[in-house]
Amino acid sequence: MIESFSLNLGLSYCIESTIAALLFYPAGDNSVTKPKKPKL
């Protein structure tokens, strides 16, 4: 039960981080000139 909860928590955190990364670093033609995504 606890292991499953931890897995779901990590997965949701990963999804939220991905969404935030897509919002702040939108993919496009100018993605090359933008700095790399910081590792959280």
CA 15 to chain centroid, in Å, comes to 6
| Spatial contact of 38 and 17, defined as CB atoms under 8 Å apart | no
Give CA–CA dist 30/22, Å, rounded: 14
Instruction: Tell me the pLDDT tens digit for each residue of 1-40.
Output: 677 878 888 888 888 888 887 777 665 555 555 556 666 6
pLDDT of residue 32: 53
Long-range contacts of 3-7 (CB under 8 A, 24+ apart): none
Give CA–CA dist 8/38, Å, rounded: 23
Give CA–CA dist 29/9, Å, rounded: 33
pLDDT of residue 27: 57
